[in-house]
Structure 1
Amino acid sequence: MDILLHEIRVFENYEVKKAEAGHIIVDTKVVDGSLNYYGNAHGGYLFTLCDQISGLVSRSLGANAVTLQSNINYLRAAHLGDVLTVEGRCIHNGRTTKIVDTVVANDKGDVITKASFTMFVTDKPAGDA
């Protein structure tokens, strides 16, 4: 049996649509490097979009944070050329943890994934008091 793995590409292209405290929205387009063997957006690609946005939401609240726990539901496939909107919103802004809900939707408004991330606060970003 031949084993062939390929690189998964994330955020090769993106546009920040909204960036405010506790709420981030980014658009990105599914490219060849985002696909799985079946020609759909790879689950790892979709998860990474949500994970990155959750980190940005935490930073928007003045905290560096890492993923402590996550849960993702894959609801439908995304395809080559789809423009995806990734939206993250903080639903719990604690001192040591943040909980961020993320949704990925395609350009038709269909929800592709829905995820929740518990982010562990490591420290404040450099330069913040």
Structure 2
Amino acid sequence: MKDYKKADASRISISELMLPSHSNFSGKIHGGYILNLMDQIAFACASKHSKSYCVTASVDTVDFLSPIEVGELVTMKASVNFVGNTSMVVGIRVIAENIQTGVVKHCNSSYFTMVSKDKDGKSQQVPGLILNDKVEVKRFLKAIKRMETKKQRQYEFDHQDFSHVDYLPILKEHKVRIDLPENF
């Protein structure tokens, strides 16, 4: 395995003014545009840490908390929060600032799992992570917890004993119509 690197050695911040061309039909900045920027900063952060080409393996917890307006300055901050053997979890925080009033709002936080690739497209090892403060330790531990939760969900839905019938009573409590064939 390669050496260890400090978490702050690969932190990246980008800012971009939101233009009318980035907006959706309701006049707010299109979520897909923001996701594209987030993917770019995740790539840059992971590549900076690993010193290699990286690909997006998954995206966790994309909650759009506040709409972004045309004319606001969007800043994204990314850091490597966790490293595995060939993968890294990059945490991204998105804030928007009204440059006329100075009001700043938190718009989104998300976690991108990025995988390091070699010249032939094969996964390769990434440097370990040196954590320098309690915030970095907390981010690392939260990444482990998210991975455990994800594995548990995957197991629940992939497990051979899983049956939709077990969930029918729960579904009846929701706004859904169940119209299954008799032999389903």
User: So what's the TM-score if we normalise by structure 1?
Assistant: 0.76
- What secondary structure sits across from 2:12 in the alignment? strand
Q: Where does the alignment leave 5 or more consecutive residues of structure 2 unmatched?
A: 1-7, 98-102, 120-184
The alpha-carbon deviation at position 25 of structure 1 amounts to 0.3
The alpha-carbon deviation at position 29 of structure 1 amounts to 0.6
Say yes or no: does 1:36 pair with 2:31: no
1:96 equivalent in structure 2: 86
- The letter of the residue matching 2:94 is V
Say yes or no: does 1:54 pair with 2:42: yes
Distance 1:33 1:96 in 2: 37
Structure with higher Rg: it is 2
- What secondary structure sits across from 1:73 in the alignment? coil
1:67 equivalent in structure 2: 56
Bigger share in helix: 2
2:112 equivalent in structure 1: 117
Q: For residues 52-86 of structure 1, what are the alpha-carbon distances to aligned partners after superposition, in whole Å with 9 as ceiling and x for unaligned?
A: 10000011111211100002111010000000111
- The letter of the residue matching 1:91 is N
> Across the two proteins, how many residue pairs are aligned to each other?
105
**Does the Cα contact within 8 Å between 2:13 and 2:76 map onto a contact in 1?**
yes
Instruction: Point out 4+ residue stretches in structure 1 off by more than 4 angstroms.
Output: none
Work out the percentage of aligned pairs sharing the same amino acid.
25
User: So what's the TM-score if we normalise by structure 2?
Assistant: 0.54
Give me the CA root mean square deviation.
Answer: 1.4
The alpha-carbon deviation at position 21 of structure 1 amounts to 2.6
